Structure 1
Amino acid sequence: MTPSHAASADTTHNDDDASQRWLFAYFTPETEKEGEQVRFAVNSGPDARTWIPLNDGNPILISDVGERGARDPFIFRDHTRDKFVVLATDLRVATDGDWDRAEHRGSRSILVWESEDLMTWSGPRLVPIAREDAGNAWAPKAFWSIERDAWLVFFASSLPGIGEAGSDYQRMFVTETADFASFSAPVLYLDLGKSVIDVTFLQVGQWCYRFSATSRPAGSPEDDAFVFVERGRSLLDPDFEPWVVAAGKGDIRQGEGPAVVLPSDGSAPLLLIDEFGLSGYHLFEAADPELREWKHVHDAVLPPRARHGSLLAITPEEHARLLRRR
């Protein structure tokens, strides 16, 4: 694949007043009743500080295929087919609590749901996506490539026996699709020599910002297990430059699952970071035009126990329609 310009599905917005409407897709932990399934919430004010869980906080999308769990949902508009799409990780940790199995012998497929109105969904479809020698396929996210005229899907995979001293760790891969039914062979996208997961993007003017998360293995730097930010020119730019080492550090103790959006009213970009294993999602706001500083929004109240998810800008009509299923 060659470098291409990015049009992030995360930044789709279409609003006609001062209030921005958002749909938040997320899951809850394996320790919760009906956890590891997809839930929805919509914001209840003019910004992203307060939220209304839909369906009384119960799952909206439930996986009955593969491992029968759905984690890390990513929701976006497929403008080429006039559909909404949710991608998710096919994983249920509650079954045995075995993370070693999940990472090294888990599913190599992802879950796909589709809808024309955000209300009625088809699926899930279980779609193979990872390499045959991969142990898993985690946190798939889709972004449109203008130059390639296709969707690029980024996801994390563990490869056995590769790396320093034969160790394995999570690397980011990318594949291409037009219909989310068939995919090209995955290509290695990002290898840090240690686990990297949860890649997502935000296009702001001429710059493409890449958000990722690292793990914290024994002996690793204290800035690991946080979200880091890089800046490049396109999704596939081979020369992204480091931008923010550990976003949110000092306000949270660790972070992953970044979800980032650009409000349509010209206000600062918003970033959600999951303080996994602790207090869950926190909201941050860019404090400078170049996105070097992120300010913690202390009064934000996210849906209870929300874990790694995504944000979609929606219209007032879509917002009202979703509220009717509350």
Structure 2
Amino acid sequence: MSRVLPRVGALLAAVALLFTSWSVATDRRAEALEPFTGYLMAHFIGEQATGEQIYLAHSRDGLHWTDLNNGAPVLLSTVGTRGVRDPALVRSPAGDRYWIIATDLRIANGTSWSDAANNGSRSLVVWESADLVNWSAPRLLDVAGAIPGAGDAWAPEAIHDPATGDYVVYWATNATLNGVKKHRIYYTRTKDFRTTTAPVLYIDRAGTQGIIDTQIVESPTSVGGYRYYRASGDGQITVEGANSVLGAWTRIGDLSHLGITGSQVEGPMWMRFNGRDQWALWLDQYSSGRGYMPVLSTNLGSTRNFQTTTDYNLGGTRKRHGSILNLTSAEEGRVLGKWGATTPVNRIQSYNFQDRYVRHADFDVRIDPNVSPVQDSQFRVVPGLVGSGTVSIQSTNYPGYYLRHYNYDFVLAADDGTATFKADATFRQVAGLASSSWSSFQSYNHPDRYIRHYSYLLRLDPITDAAGRADATFRLTG
């Protein structure tokens, strides 16, 4: 025994050293994520048919943004309510795993805010990726089901907790506690965004004051005196500081001295500027419908350091409650390679009625002269929603809406994420049937049929004669 014990001790010491080395390596891999070169914003745009889905925007300076994917959604929820709001981007410390978590809510389907708050989904929608561009199918994660009387699970966020090596997921739930029904912030822990611990009350304001839309940012050098800062919508936009994610939080102040209150803005969204200790706190101006505005600070330890600015631009779509991820050069390259190219805007001109162009009108599709507004006749011919070497035809003034056939008639419709929609909205662009210098569009799922006009309405028909060939021939113009 006297010879065995030293060997066991040596083995245990080696195992301990291995785990210590792994932990240090993980921290070093996290440090290796820097330097950051750009920014990625995940957001939704509103309550229209495709507005409550995942949209992305990119910025090089953190203030001036460009819509990705031509302003169309990049991910669609096909689970739960089939709509998502308030997306949060989460990166693992090692930079080898990413998640998007979002509120499972779709107001566009006719749900009232009262029903959504009192009888809504208690799950979050989760996507997962290894590279930030190829995402899993969405899945539901029940986080609030164990909260007695829970009416919803809104505005989720997540942050890695270095003290425990897992993630703290936190969100707002409307429930009755101590005789008061209101939104409070709860949290749970997870390592994989698949299984979670039981929900725990995290933030509860006094009396009947509810709280929602909390987001935490880390200050690695503890500028202002704290390691972490959080901003919350609780009647004001309240800023607090702490030195651990689940530690004691100290109220620092609010933004009322800037004329900014919770009755005007919501969805506080933190962003640390790359390469310097300066932050932007983006606020969604929901009451005026103007989307996000930034307030800037170099010291989060006092809200008196926050300043408004007019030097920003949010691109073509209205940005609603989301989150911002600082990007490394490699991440930025992948994101822009996938969604950064801007497809030209075209009009689709008829071959045999050259004063007429394809346009949508009340979501029906036809060819007309003198289209007004002209945006109704502007489209982007983008890579097909299904099948290599194919195209889909996306509206410019209704991002996420495509020309699709339905019972061989054409409509402009929102991508609903189904395989049927994708096939109906996909075509092969081939040499024009009436002139090889023009184009015709062959159906992907009915290859014996082509897009053609008939009595000026667009149809999907077999083409059997010269008149049909002329009707099925078009030209893309600038």
Take 2:124 and 2:32, find their aligned partners in 1: how far apart are those partners? 26
1:287, distance to aligned residue in structure 2 (A): 4.6
Distance 1:39 1:189, change over 3 A: same
Residue of structure 2 equivalent to 1:219: none
1:248, distance to aligned residue in structure 2 (A): 7.8
Superposed, 1:99-248 pairs within 5 Å as 99-130=113-144, 131-160=147-176, 162-163=177-178, 166-192=179-205, 193=207, 194-204=209-219, 205-206=221-222, 207=226, 208-214=228-234, 224=235, 226-238=236-248, 240-246=249-255
Distance 1:52 1:81, change over 3 A: closer
Cα offsets for 1:54-100 (capped at 9, x unmatched): 11111111101101111000002123682111000000011114000
Residue of structure 2 equivalent to 1:88: 102
1:243 counterpart letter in structure 2: I
Take 2:90 and 2:214, find their aligned partners in 1: how far apart are those partners? 15
Residue of structure 2 equivalent to 1:280: 291
Counterpart secondary structure, 2:116: helix
Structure number with greater Rg is 2
Residue of structure 1 equivalent to 2:44: 27
Superposed, 1:31-50 pairs within 5 Å as 32-43=48-59, 45=60, 47-50=61-64
Distance 1:155 1:248, change over 3 A: farther
Distance 1:199 1:248, change over 3 A: farther
2:186 counterpart letter in structure 1: F
Distance 1:175 1:319, change over 3 A: same
Take 2:310 and 2:95, find their aligned partners in 1: how far apart are those partners? 39
1:33, distance to aligned residue in structure 2 (A): 4.0
1:264, distance to aligned residue in structure 2 (A): 3.5
Residue of structure 2 equivalent to 1:3: none
Q: Is the 8 A contact 1:13 1:315 kept in 2?
A: no
1:317, distance to aligned residue in structure 2 (A): 2.6
Q: Is the 8 A contact 1:70 1:89 kept in 2?
A: yes
Distance 1:157 1:251, change over 3 A: closer
Counterpart secondary structure, 1:155: strand
1:256 to 261, 266, 286: 266
1:61 matches 2:75: yes
Q: Is the 8 A contact 2:283 2:293 kept in 1?
A: yes
Counterpart secondary structure, 1:103: helix
Distance 1:277 1:180, change over 3 A: same
Residue of structure 2 equivalent to 1:6: none
Take 1:122 and 1:98, find their aligned partners in 2: how far apart are those partners? 30
Distance 1:39 1:289, change over 3 A: closer
1:12, distance to aligned residue in structure 2 (A): 8.4
Take 1:98 and 1:13, find their aligned partners in 2: how far apart are those partners? 46
Take 2:136 and 2:162, find their aligned partners in 1: how far apart are those partners? 27
1:275, distance to aligned residue in structure 2 (A): 1.1
Distance 1:288 1:189, change over 3 A: closer
Q: Which runs of 5+ in 1 are unaligned?
A: 1-10, 215-223
Q: Is the 8 A contact 2:294 2:308 kept in 1?
A: yes
Q: Is the 8 A contact 2:172 2:212 kept in 1?
A: yes
Superposed, 1:61-80 pairs within 5 Å as 61-79=75-93
Take 2:32 and 2:53, find their aligned partners in 1: how far apart are those partners? 26
Residue of structure 2 equivalent to 1:221: none
Counterpart secondary structure, 1:317: helix
TM-score, normalization: structure 1?
0.85
Residue of structure 2 equivalent to 1:266: 276
1:295 to 299, 307, 314: 307
- Percent identical pairs in the alignment equals 34
1:237, distance to aligned residue in structure 2 (A): 1.7
Counterpart secondary structure, 1:121: coil
Q: Is the 8 A contact 1:15 1:21 kept in 2?
A: no
1:297, distance to aligned residue in structure 2 (A): 2.1
Residue of structure 1 equivalent to 2:350: none
Q: Is the 8 A contact 2:241 2:301 kept in 1?
A: no
Take 1:202 and 1:42, find their aligned partners in 2: how far apart are those partners? 19
Take 2:120 and 2:162, find their aligned partners in 1: how far apart are those partners? 33
Q: Is the 8 A contact 2:91 2:98 kept in 1?
A: yes
1:314 counterpart letter in structure 2: L
Take 2:131 and 2:78, find their aligned partners in 1: how far apart are those partners? 22
Which stretch of structure 1 is more off in the superposition, 284-293 or 309-318?
284-293
TM-score, normalization: structure 2?
0.59
The CA RMSD measured in Å over matched residues stands at 2.2
Counterpart secondary structure, 2:138: strand
| More helix per residue | 2
* Higher RCO (CA 8 Å, separation ≥ 6 residues): 1
1:141 counterpart letter in structure 2: E
Q: Displaced runs of 4+ in structure 1, greater than 6 A?
A: none
1:277, distance to aligned residue in structure 2 (A): 3.5
